[in-house]
Structure 1
Amino acid sequence: MNIITTVVGSYPTHSFEAHTFNEKITESLGLFDSYKKSIIESVNAFVESDIDIICDGQVRGDMVKIFASKINGFKIEDNTSYIKGKITPAAHPISVKDFNLAFKTAKSLNKKFKLNASLEDIYNHEAKGVKGIITGPTTLIHSSIIENFYSNKENAIYDMAKALLVEAKELEKAGACAIQIDEPFISTGAEDINVSKMAVETISEELDIPVILHVCGDLKDVMSNLLKFNVDILDFEFSGMSQNIGTLKKEWKSNSSKQIGIGCVNTKMESVDNIEDVKQTVKDVTEIIKKDNIIIDPDCGMRMLESEISKGKLDILKEIKLEGI
Structure 2
Amino acid sequence: MTANKILPTTVVGSYPAVRSKGLKSIFNPYAASLETAVGDQVKAGVDIISTGQVRGDMITSLTSQIPGIRDQSVIGTLKPTQSAMTVDDTKYALSRHSQVKAMLAGPSTIAHALKIDTPLYRNRDEVIMDLAKVLAAEALRLQDTGISIFQIDEPILSTGIADMNTAQAAVREITKNLKVTTCIHVCGDIDGVIDSLLKMPVDIIDLEFSCNEKNLECVGRKEFGDKRIGFGAVDSTDTSIDSVEAIKSRIEKGVELFGAGKLLIDPDCGLRMHTRETAFGKLSNMCAAADEVRRTL
* TM-score normalised by length of structure 2: 0.93
**What secondary structure does 2:7 align onto?**
strand
Q: Identify the residue that residue 247 of structure 1 maps to in structure 2.
A: 218
Unaligned runs of 5+ in 1: 108-112, 114-128
| Offset from partner CA, 1:131-188 (integer Å, 9 cap, x none) | 2111100000001111113221001000000110000000001111111100000111
Instruction: Determine whether 1:180 maps to 2:134.
Output: no
Deviation at 1:291, TM superposition (A): 4.2
Q: Identify the residue that residue 91 of structure 1 maps to in structure 2.
A: 82
| Offset from partner CA, 1:185-208 (integer Å, 9 cap, x none) | 011111111110110111112100
CA RMSD of the aligned region, Å? Answer: 1.5
Decide which of 263, 266, 271 is 1:297's aligned counterpart.
266
Decide which of 245, 251, 261 is 1:282's aligned counterpart.
251
Residues matched between the structures, number: 289
Partners of 1:257 and 1:202 in 2: CA distance: 20
Instruction: Determine whether 1:9 maps to 2:13.
Output: yes
Partners of 2:182 and 2:80 in 1: CA distance: 20
Q: Identify the residue that residue 73 of structure 1 maps to in structure 2.
A: 68
**What secondary structure does 1:54 align onto?**
coil
Deviation at 1:16, TM superposition (A): 1.6
Amino acid of the structure 2 residue aligned with 1:103: L
Q: Identify the residue that residue 146 of structure 1 maps to in structure 2.
A: 116
Unaligned runs of 5+ in 2: none
Deviation at 1:246, TM superposition (A): 0.8
Quote the sequence identity (%).
36
Partners of 2:176 and 2:253 in 1: CA distance: 31
Q: Identify the residue that residue 124 of structure 1 maps to in structure 2.
A: none
Partners of 2:83 and 2:11 in 1: CA distance: 26
Contact 1:18/1:34 (<8 A) preserved: no
Task: Rate the CA distance shift 1:152–1:264 in 2: closer, same or farther, 3 A.
Answer: same
Partners of 1:220 and 1:293 in 2: CA distance: 20
Q: Identify the residue that residue 186 of structure 2 maps to in structure 1.
A: 215
Instruction: Indicate the larger mover: 281-290 or 232-241.
Output: 281-290
**What secondary structure does 1:296 align onto?**
strand
**What secondary structure does 1:203 align onto?**
helix
Deviation at 1:287, TM superposition (A): 2.1
Instruction: Determine whether 1:48 maps to 2:67.
Output: no
Deviation at 1:15, TM superposition (A): 2.9
Contact 1:182/1:213 (<8 A) preserved: yes
Instruction: Determine whether 1:134 maps to 2:107.
Output: no
Name whichever structure is richer in strand by fraction.
1
Contact 2:18/2:36 (<8 A) preserved: no
Counterparts of 1:155-174 in structure 2, within 5 Å, are 155-174=126-145
Counterparts of 1:194-209 in structure 2, within 5 Å, are 194-209=165-180
Partners of 2:216 and 2:262 in 1: CA distance: 18
Amino acid of the structure 1 residue aligned with 2:43: E
**What secondary structure does 2:65 align onto?**
coil
Contact 1:71/1:91 (<8 A) preserved: no
Partners of 1:284 and 1:142 in 2: CA distance: 34
Partners of 2:265 and 2:274 in 1: CA distance: 19
Deviation at 1:293, TM superposition (A): 5.0
